[in-house]
Structure 1
């Protein structure tokens, strides 16, 4: 059972880091980006995207660990799927995997990829619609991530003793 506790701690920490990143964007980065002109926005956003994607042990690794590691206790404790721990972990995993992971890959990343193709000196005339769509999507995934994080913290107090 110690392996379940250690793995639970690791992915809960990862989900918390991701929640903090999304919250930072929601409360600090996005409001700052909203004050920029089209050319300034294109330059800054492209650098943010490149910076977050370039660091291999950063966001991508943490997010993948947080998406995959919960499968270990869910599989190992399959016979105990009636317990609060298993159900809270399963719900937290579903929210993080689909509500943050798949959501980000399917919706936010395509916008990022489009922004990366812009010429910063002459952004498209509809640049604000891409910015607003990304911001709206982030406003959805941020509370989903926080709920997942809270469920994993709660689940930590429910780990079976055996």
Structure 2
């Protein structure tokens, strides 16, 4: 059970880091980017995308830990899938995996790739539509991430209670 607690701590921390990243974008980066003209926006946004993608042990590793590590306790405790810990962990994982992970890969990343292809000196006329679409998608996945993070914290407390009752 110690391995499950350690793994739970690691993936909950990873999901919390991702929640912090999305919170930072929602509360600080997006409002700041909204003040920029097309050329400034393109230059800064391309820099942000490249910076977040360039460091392979950063966002990608954290996202993968958050998406895949929860499977360890879920598979290992399959026989206990009726317990509150298993169900809450499964729900928190599913929300993060699909509502943040897959959502990001399928919807946000293609917009990032489009922005990276723009000429920073002459962005397309519809640049604001791409910005607004990305921001709307972020406004959906951010609260999903918060709920996922909260569920995984709750699951840790439920597991602790179950261990004390034994």
With normalisation by structure 2, the TM-score equals 0.96
- Tell me how far apart the structure 2 counterparts of residues 157 and 117 of structure 1 sit (CA, whole Å): 46
2:109 is the alignment partner of 1:106: no
Alignment partner, residue 149 of structure 1 = 149
2:107 is the alignment partner of 1:85: no
- Root mean square deviation of aligned Cα: 0.7
Q: C-alpha offsets along residues 3-30 of structure 1, whole Å, 9 cap, x if unaligned?
A: 0000000000000000000000000000
Runs of 4+ in 1 over 2 A off after TM superposition: none
User: CA shift at 1:126, angstroms?
Assistant: 0.1
SS at match of 1:157: helix
Runs of 5+ unmatched residues, structure 2: none
SS at match of 2:158: coil
2:97 is the alignment partner of 1:134: no
- Tell me how far apart the structure 2 counterparts of residues 136 and 90 of structure 1 sit (CA, whole Å): 27
Q: C-alpha offsets along residues 58-90 of structure 1, whole Å, 9 cap, x if unaligned?
A: 001000011000000000000100111000000
Runs of 5+ unmatched residues, structure 1: none
Q: C-alpha offsets along residues 111-131 of structure 1, whole Å, 9 cap, x if unaligned?
A: 000000000000000000000
- Tell me how far apart the structure 1 counterparts of residues 93 and 43 of structure 2 sit (CA, whole Å): 35
SS at match of 1:124: coil
The total of aligned residue pairs comes to 162
Alignment partner, residue 119 of structure 1 = 119
- Tell me how far apart the structure 2 counterparts of residues 138 and 21 of structure 1 sit (CA, whole Å): 11
Alignment partner, residue 12 of structure 2 = 12
2:62 is the alignment partner of 1:41: no
With normalisation by structure 1, the TM-score equals 0.99
